[in-house]
Amino acid sequence: MARIGRFLSTSFGSAVLGGLVVAVAGLLLIETGVIDTDDDSGSSLAAAPLTRPASQSEGKGLTVNEIYDRASKGVAFIRSQMTETTQTPFDLFPQKQQSTATGSGFLIDGDGHILTNAHVVQGAQRVDVQFSEDGESQQAEVVGMDPSSDLALLHVDDTQGATPLPLGDSSKAEVGDPVVAIGNPFGLDRTVTSGIVSALQRQIQAPNGFSISDVIQTDAAINPGNSGGPLLDSSGAVIGINSQIASQSGGSEGVGFAVPSATASDVVSQILENGSVQRAYLGITGGEITPEIAQALSLPAEQGVLVERVFSGGPADAAGIKGATGQGTVAGETFPVGGDIITKIDGKDVTGMDEVISAVNEHDPGDELTLTLLRDGNEQDVTVKLGDRPGRIQDSQAPSPSVP
């Protein structure tokens, strides 16, 4: 029964579900709060020593110092001015409080476009950017943002002295590859740390509750203020945008997460072309079935995804997919029962929610998916027309951590 505890209640749409909550351990959105997660399957490998080349492949690759010299001039220090309205029982009227969030970003072209995290600039009345310690600070325009990938695109007029950082091919990254992170942790501008790719194809939760797929895990030290900074490979190309850490202390513990450059390239293209990003939405929550869970709950399948909840009015609801009708208890834990079981998507076997989320994220609104379901022990195919993802998950009753 060792794997029963790995049943993950996750949301199917193209999103990760859950709020910003205080937790002893969890994913720390490295500017704004903590995101809870049930994923404890990853482990980091040993960090790359700073004295060796950033790539050990037959002596090829740049040293950390060489990468820093080439890339640091393109890394920006970002300050976001926020205004919050608060009121206590002792206040006659609501009070406005000014606050400042700091983070990182980097120049991606010669036209003044800067890539950063959405959570660094979201809700800001003013965003200022500075490229070098003695450079002039200038106000930036927020061109657009995609909370579902936690990415935002800024624009500044003056890029003198700053060197654009090319987006690399994150699909070529392999576990064990050396990487370098540059950013402004705790306001210490243009700090460099190094490590390796600890794992690939992780899923983390975006600020709006949806899932970010194909995330790169690294043990390069990342701390508050690194948000939006580049994760670079041994050639100096950006393969990720540093976004979150898993932490018990609130600081770096060698488990950082970067949104892949492939996702960033798509987001930038859509923002520049359309001013916004469109993403597909399925609208369910569910969890992985293991043989142990299947046996304990007398399920008709030993693998797949048990649909827990179907969001009213969503694409899955329109297609007639059924959520759980009750609960079962196994070894003191409660699990949903009576819902449809997803065994295949477009003919491919499904073993867990990560695969459902990835399948939805790879499609556009209006695309169709064929889900093979087990309902009351009978197999049937259901065609779902994916919808437009809502801005965020509003339903307070929806479970955490993820929704596609």
Give the type of residue at 125.
Q
- Burial environment of residue 147 by CB neighbours within 10 A (0 to 12, 13 to 18, 19 or more): buried
Rounded average pLDDT over 219-239: 92
Beta bridge partners of 155: 113, 141
Mean pLDDT of 209-238: 90
Give whichever of 79-88, 146-155, 285-294, 302-311 has the largest mean pLDDT.
146-155
Does the domain formed by 280-388 have CATH 2.60.40.1150?
Answer: no
What integer pLDDT is reported at residue 324 of this predicted model? Answer: 86
Q: Which amino acid is at 272?
A: L
* Tokens linked to 331: 């070894």
Location of each CATH 2.30.42.10 domain in the chain: 280-388
pLDDT on residue 50: 32
For 314-347, how does the pLDDT look when each residue is reduced to its tens digit (9 = 90+)? Answer: 999 999 999 888 887 777 777 778 888 999 999 9
Q: Model confidence at 41, in pLDDT bands (50, 70, 90)?
A: very low
Q: Which residues are marked as active site?
A: 119, 150, 227
pLDDT at 84 over 80: no
Q: How confident is the model at residue 88 (pLDDT cuts 50, 70, 90)?
A: low
pLDDT of the residue at 35: 31
Residue 397 burial (CB count, 10 A): 5
Taking only the tens place, the pLDDT of each residue in 354-394 is 889 889 888 989 999 999 999 988 899 999 999 988 876 65
- The Cα 12–Cα 308 span in angstroms is 10
Kindly state the DSSP code that residue 298 receives in the 8-state scheme. T
The answer to whether 5 and 202 have CB atoms below 8 angstroms apart is no
Give span(s): CATH 2.40.10.10, the chain.
26-70+167-274, 72-155
Average pLDDT (31-60) is 37
Residue 279's alpha-carbon distances to 147, 169, 231, 360, 392, in angstroms, are 11, 21, 25, 9, 12
Contact 294, 343 (CB under 8 A): no
Query: Given this model, what pLDDT does residue 91 score?
Result: 66
**What pLDDT, on a 0 to 100 scale, did the predictor assign at position 333?**
77
Q: How many residues are given for the chain?
A: 404
Within 177-293, strands assigned E span 178-183, 191-205, 211-218, 230-232, 238-247, 256-260, 280-281, 284-289
Tell me how far apart the alpha carbons of residues 60 and 224 are, in angstroms, rounded to a whole number. 32
| Residue 299, pLDDT above cutoff 90 | no
Q: Cα–Cα distance between 147 and 215 in angstroms, integer? A: 15
Summarize the confidence of residues 170-193 as an average pLDDT: 90
Give pLDDT tens digits for 48-69.
333 334 444 444 688 999 999 9
Q: Inform me whether the pLDDT recorded for 46 exceeds 60.
A: no
What single letter denotes the amino acid at residue 109?
D
Is the Cα torsion angle 301, 305, 306, 310 positive or negative in sign?
negative
Say if residue 300's pLDDT is above 60.
yes
- Do 398 and 17 touch, CB atoms closer than 8 A? yes
125 has a pLDDT exceeding 70: yes
Pairing of strands 178-183, 126-130: unpaired
Helix (H) or strand (E) holding 55, with range, is: none
Beta carbons of 318 and 383 less than 8 angstroms apart: no
Q: Which two tokens stand for residue 404?
A: 């596609």
Over residues 34-50, mean pLDDT: 32
Round to whole Å and give the CA distance between 11 and 360: 11
Pick the CATH number of 26-70+167-274 from 2.40.10.10, 3.30.450.20, 1.25.40.10, 1.10.10.10: 2.40.10.10
54-58, 107-111, 253-257: lowest mean pLDDT where?
54-58
The fourth-level CATH superfamily of domain 72-155 is Trypsin-like serine proteases (2.40.10.10)
Better pLDDT: 239 or 81: 239
Q: What is the DSSP string of 312-333?
A: TTSHHHHTT-----EEEEETTE
Rounded (5°) CA angle 130-131-132 = 100
Structural element, H or E, at residue 262: helix 261-274
Per residue in 146-168, pLDDT tens? 998 999 999 999 988 899 998 99
What share of the chain has pLDDT > 70, as a percent?
Answer: 80
Q: What is the pLDDT of residue 393?
A: 65
Of residues 268 and 13, which shows the higher confidence score? 268
Q: What is the pLDDT of residue 60?
A: 64
